[in-house]
Amino acid sequence: MGDEARLINWNTGKVFAEAKVISVREKKLGKLEEADFEGHEKFESDEEMYKTYRTYYGDKVGPETVVKIIKFELKK
């Protein structure tokens, strides 16, 4: 918490915002609730979510995979 970050567009490599980390917590993908997706992409199903994350992190992603949920405060 308290770290500052530059948010970068993956496709262009350009900074589009600066933010301060206000909270970090860990949770298993299978235990995520609707509130955990605030400010994040939403998925039609758990399987769609696992499939998406497998493209980033490999075939072992599933309900027991632990993720970090990071909340940011945008700097002005």
Predicted confidence band of residue 23 (pLDDT cuts 50, 70, 90)? very high
Q: Taking the model in full, what pTM does it have?
A: 0.74
Strand partners, 24: 70
| Total tally of structural domains belonging to the chain | 1
Strand partners, 15: 8
- Give residue 15's pLDDT: 96
Domain containing 13 equals: 4-74
- One DSSP character per residue, 5-24 reads EEEE-TTT--EEEEEEEEEE
CA distance 73 to 52: 26
Predicted confidence band of residue 39 (pLDDT cuts 50, 70, 90)? confident
> Which of 4, 62, 70, 52 lies closest to 28 in space, CA to CA?
62
